[in-house]
A = this chain, B = another copy of it.
Amino acid sequence: MTMPLTGITVLDFGQIYQGSYATLLMAKAGADVIKIEPPGGEPLRRRVAPGRKTTMPFAMLNANKRAVTLNLKTEKGKALLFEMVKRADVLLENFAPGAMDKLGVGWSVLHDINPRLIYCTASGYGISGPRSGDLAMDLVVQASSGLMSVTGEAGGPPMRAGVTVADFSGGIHAYGAIMTALFERERSGEGRLVETAMLEAMYFPLAGPIDSYTRRGTVPERSGNGGNGSIAPYGVFPVKDGYVAIHTGTDGHWLKLLDVMGRGEMKDDPGLATMHGRAQREQEVSDMVSAWTAGLTKAEAEAIARANKIPLSAVRDVAEVMMCEHMHGRGTLEWVDHPDLGRVVLPNSPLRLHGLETAPPVPSALVGAHNDEVYGGWLGLSAAELETLRAEKAI
Q: What residues of chain A have their CB less than 8 Å away from a CB belonging to chain B?
A: 2, 4-5, 17, 21, 25, 29, 43, 47, 49, 55-57, 60-61, 125-126, 128-153, 156-165, 167-169, 171-173, 175-177, 179-184, 186, 188, 190, 192-197, 199-215, 219-220, 222-225, 230, 234-236, 243-247, 249, 253, 275, 302, 305-306, 309-322, 325-327, 329-330, 332-333, 341, 344, 347, 350-356
Contacts and interface: CB of A to CB of B under 8 A. Distances in A.
B149 A159 contact: no
B173 A173 contact: no
Given A219-B317, A318-B213, A135 B208 contact: no
B314 A352 contact: no
6 contacts: A56-B215, A143-B314, A160-B245, A161-B161, A192-B353, A201-B350
Contacts of A313: 134, 136, 140-141, 143-144
Contacts of A25: 176
A213 B319 CA distance: 8
A222 B159 CA distance: 11
Contacts of A325: 130
Given A57-B207, A149-B316, 14 more contacts: A56-B211, A125-B326, A130-B326, A134-B311, A134-B313, A138-B247, A139-B234, A143-B244, A146-B318, A151-B160, A151-B161, A190-B355, A210-B322, A219-B319
Q: Is the interface of A mostly helix, strand, loop or mixed?
A: mixed
A135 B190 CA distance: 43
Contacts of A183: 4-5, 179, 182-183, 186
A161 B139 CA distance: 13
Nearest to A332: B200
Nearest to A163: B205
A311 to B, nearest CB: 4
